[in-house]
Structure 1
Amino acid sequence: MSNVLRRMHARGRGEAHRAATPLELFFDLCFVVAVAQAGRQLVHALAEGHPGHGIPGYLMMFFAVWWAWMNFSWFSSAYDTDDVPYRVVTLVQMAGVLVLAAGVPRAFDRGDFTVVWFGYLVMRLAMVAQWLRAALSAEGEERRTALRYAGGVALCQVGWLGLLLLPSHAKPWVFLVMAVCEMSVPVFAEHRQQTGWHPHHIAERYGLFTIIVLGETVSAATVAVQSAVDEHGALGLLLPIAGGGLLLIFAAYWIYFAVPIHLHLASNRQAFLWGYGHYLVFGSAAAIGAGIEVAIEEAAGKAHIATFAASAAVTVPAALFMLTVWLIHSRHQKRGFLQQSVLPVSSLLVLACTFAGHQAVLLAGLVAAVTIAVGVTLTARAASREAAA
């Protein structure tokens, strides 16, 4: 009967062998749909030559997806009881994710956030219920922290009504203000006492979501290549893009998982900056796949943009990924000027590849591959010096 209903006590930070659960993995898979929807809308906007609409729209939709995932992931790291009520409420949250994903095209194309807001409402009611349940089982400052979370999440959901009630020109500003308010809730809620999130567990959760985003990128690029080959057979232009894109994706995986970041996550001071910074990591990783689709459509003559713009759709997010991973993730484990400079320099070189015409993606992929080789070599030399000392 213990698995039917348990008291929702905080998990211990020093808990051994803490790993992601099957329920958490199932939860993450629901976000594949939402990420794919946001990426697909970005492709359409960029291919039609509307970056001024596509990029802000993508940033807003991806924030909605990312923040919904963040809310659950950090809560589950601190309070996962894996009993019946916890599982049922989590499944309700997953239903909300799917509703949100269904509303992404309408929000992106028409500025109609009704379906997205309702999906968020479903998720938020479940999230508030989880925090209230945690408060019932806690005492003192831990209870007040849970109540602050419940209240903050509920108030922010009310604030998002501005997307439904205010005119179109005000919606980007509403989104910006509410995004700041959302990210302020954890800072406010935990200013007296930290929740019991687990460093190794949360690092694993972020790593798994990185894999999911990169997997979606591979899928999007594969479909784009298949479509172009079926319709045009322009293998001479498509194969370099496909090869360079694949090298970029493989390099993104290697770069992210090169260091054990959980050793850096000692307190909220490190965790907030690292966790929030992943908005750019995840968003740029997903945008690489969208950019590959755009580059393929341009090479096949289906996109209404210049080759330079199509190349930039790949190189800019790839460079942003490299730089952001170094800034919030990799640099904490790098030693010496040479190791620290590899990713920043490589990000600049990837950007420079934008001017290489139809070979831009292939050259960017080769730069990424060389980056891995240089990084591995420098790490091996540093390890040899330490062993000799």
Structure 2
Amino acid sequence: MTAHLPVVRLFRSRGPGSDRVAFIELFFDLVFVFAVTQLAHHLIEHVTLRGAVETLVMLIAVWWVWVYTTWVTNWMNPEKGPVRWMLIALMLVGLVLSTAIPEAFADRGLQFVIAYIVMQVGRTLFVIVSFRRVGDTAGALNLTRIAIWFVYAAPFWVAGAVIGGDAQLALWGAALAIELAAPTVRYWVPGIKAAPIESWAVQGAHIAERAGLFMILALGESIIVTGTLFSRAEITTSSVLALLAAFVGTILFWLLYFSHGAEHGSRFISRAEQTGRIARLTYTYLHMILVGGVVLLAVGDDLVLAHPDDPLDVATQSIIIAAAALYLLGNLLFKRSIGRPWLRSHLLGMAALTVLWLSAPLITGMTPLMLTWIVNGIVALVVVIDEYVWPVDDEDVAQEAADSVEI
């Protein structure tokens, strides 16, 4: 029994303070700041429909690595040596994955895929062994199911990287479809069946805080991209206004998520009985939409700073408006999933953005800079409505049925 004691301590206790985010987890996130920056630059260099789809595929893959690791550090104690070194090893492989992003659909597809598979399968095997060494056969079985799904998707990843071209996009899309479907069917495997929802229990405050910290890092990445470009640009009235517009847009995105979302979400999941169900929907799936909106925000800001007074083209228009629309949609679904009603402010904001997208080409003299300020005005109106016109008592909402999460 004494031989097992060091392994037992690899897992978090369930006592007070055990849900604290460790410094090594924040250190681990630095690799993903770089990855998000790489994704934004990829889309900036490939402002086409195909470039957007490629970026989406890689964004989901990057998010999928991060969120699975977050689930693992929710169960295991990242301040213990073996877990810490596991995270450091993942950081190194994550750096390999991130550096492959610009050429993942060219010469570095195999580098991207090998790094991705090593991270997903390697981390899962580490947890399986840890569960088995403490005699937790149910936990080991759950992670075995997950490993089987990753292994099943792996040939699609590898074949896509080897074949390249249009087939690569299709095969990587198929691989992601397999992996995204896995949690919805509770990792059902023939002969093993599906994982019981009770086995997915998480410490809600930890996973909510991790998601919030990732959102801060993603928004910070938007500021990095904008600041870097401005430092290299000629200082003119338009460039200063573009920088200001980018800064205002980032602040508005922060307010949308953190004013009436992040803290309430933490309380909601902490009070829930089925924390795993909420973590799967709210913090695993829905946050992908939010991160996608932030990446588009960074790309749109870059395009505006580069050409603030040029005639508005379709690609720039679509990215600027889609960033806000996608982010509003993500916030709408996120807040609904944590017990708030369907927010009319967000619905009105998306409707206004749709009208703007249809009418912008008809407005004479419309420029990227003008469009950005109009979009900021719409998002600001949503924030004001949320704050002053239709406020919601978070404490009252948090008392609603926290274990019935339906959108």
TM-score normalised by the chain length of structure 2 = 0.82
Tell me the residue number matched to 1:132. Answer: 128
- 1:191 alignment partner, SS class: coil
Q: CA deviation at 1:161?
A: 1.4
Tell me the residue number matched to 1:341. Answer: 344
Tell me the residue number matched to 2:221. Answer: 216
* Identity %, equivalent residues: 20
Q: Is 2:318 aligned against 1:309?
A: no
Structure 2 CA distance for aligned equivalents of residues 224 and 167 of structure 1? 32
Residues 298 and 306, structure 1, Cα contact 8 Å, conserved in 2: no
Q: CA deviation at 1:326?
A: 0.9
Q: CA deviation at 1:80?
A: 2.5
Residues 71 and 207, structure 2, Cα contact 8 Å, conserved in 1: yes
CA displacement, residues 280-315 of structure 1 (integer Å, 9 cap, x when unaligned) = 1111112101111112223266xxx84453233212
- Alpha-carbon spacing, 1:12–1:343, altered in 2? closer, same or farther (3 Å): farther
Amino acid at match of 2:123: M
Tell me the residue number matched to 1:261. Answer: 265
Q: CA deviation at 1:155?
A: 3.7
Tell me the residue number matched to 1:363. Answer: 374
Tell me the residue number matched to 2:72. Answer: 75
Structure 2 CA distance for aligned equivalents of residues 20 and 216 of structure 1? 21
Tell me the residue number matched to 1:270. Answer: 278
- Alpha-carbon spacing, 1:376–1:333, altered in 2? closer, same or farther (3 Å): farther
Q: CA deviation at 1:158?
A: 4.2
- Alpha-carbon spacing, 1:55–1:286, altered in 2? closer, same or farther (3 Å): same
1:177 to 169, 174, 178: 174
Tell me the residue number matched to 2:405. Answer: none
Structure 2 CA distance for aligned equivalents of residues 263 and 284 of structure 1? 25
- Alpha-carbon spacing, 1:140–1:45, altered in 2? closer, same or farther (3 Å): closer
Structure 2 CA distance for aligned equivalents of residues 111 and 194 of structure 1? 41
2:158 to 153, 158, 161: 161
Q: Is 2:299 aligned against 1:290?
A: yes
Amino acid at match of 1:195: W
Structure 2 CA distance for aligned equivalents of residues 103 and 333 of structure 1? 40
My pick for the range that moved more, 89-98 or 261-270, is 261-270
| Aligned pairs for 1:58-97 within 5 A | 58-80=55-77, 82-97=79-94
Q: CA deviation at 1:167?
A: 4.6
- 1:100 alignment partner, SS class: helix
Q: CA deviation at 1:30?
A: 1.0
- Alpha-carbon spacing, 1:120–1:196, altered in 2? closer, same or farther (3 Å): same
Q: CA deviation at 1:379?
A: 5.1
Q: CA deviation at 1:41?
A: 1.1
- Unmatched 5+ stretches in structure 2: 189-193, 398-407
- Alpha-carbon spacing, 1:166–1:243, altered in 2? closer, same or farther (3 Å): same
Residues 200 and 277, structure 2, Cα contact 8 Å, conserved in 1: no
Residues 245 and 362, structure 1, Cα contact 8 Å, conserved in 2: no
Q: Name which structure has the greater RCO, CA cutoff 8 Å, separation 6+.
A: 1
Tell me the residue number matched to 1:116. Answer: 112
Q: CA deviation at 1:331?
A: 6.4
Residues 10 and 196, structure 1, Cα contact 8 Å, conserved in 2: no
Structure 2 CA distance for aligned equivalents of residues 173 and 206 of structure 1? 29
- Alpha-carbon spacing, 1:241–1:333, altered in 2? closer, same or farther (3 Å): farther
1:377 to 385, 388, 403: 388
Q: CA deviation at 1:372?
A: 1.6
Amino acid at match of 2:91: M
CA displacement, residues 184-211 of structure 1 (integer Å, 9 cap, x when unaligned) = 3442166224234211110000000000
- Alpha-carbon spacing, 1:200–1:12, altered in 2? closer, same or farther (3 Å): same
Amino acid at match of 1:197: V
Tell me the residue number matched to 1:6. Answer: 7
CA displacement, residues 197-249 of structure 1 (integer Å, 9 cap, x when unaligned) = 211110000000000000001111122233332xxx4x333333322222221
- Alpha-carbon spacing, 1:9–1:32, altered in 2? closer, same or farther (3 Å): closer
Amino acid at match of 1:328: F
Structure 1 CA distance for aligned equivalents of residues 102 and 61 of structure 2? 13
Amino acid at match of 2:215: T
CA displacement, residues 91-128 of structure 1 (integer Å, 9 cap, x when unaligned) = 110011100011111114x2641110122243235313
Residues 245 and 292, structure 1, Cα contact 8 Å, conserved in 2: yes
Tell me the residue number matched to 2:187. Answer: 188
Residues 298 and 307, structure 1, Cα contact 8 Å, conserved in 2: no
Structure 1 CA distance for aligned equivalents of residues 13 and 156 of structure 2? 34
Residues 128 and 139, structure 2, Cα contact 8 Å, conserved in 1: no
Amino acid at match of 2:240: L
1:150 to 139, 147, 150: 147
- Alpha-carbon spacing, 1:202–1:111, altered in 2? closer, same or farther (3 Å): same
- 1:160 alignment partner, SS class: helix
Residues 39 and 58, structure 2, Cα contact 8 Å, conserved in 1: yes
Amino acid at match of 1:309: A
Q: Is 2:332 aligned against 1:321?
A: no
Residues 110 and 158, structure 2, Cα contact 8 Å, conserved in 1: no
- Alpha-carbon spacing, 1:167–1:238, altered in 2? closer, same or farther (3 Å): closer
Q: CA deviation at 1:374?
A: 1.7
Structure 2 CA distance for aligned equivalents of residues 288 and 381 of structure 1? 27
Amino acid at match of 1:346: G
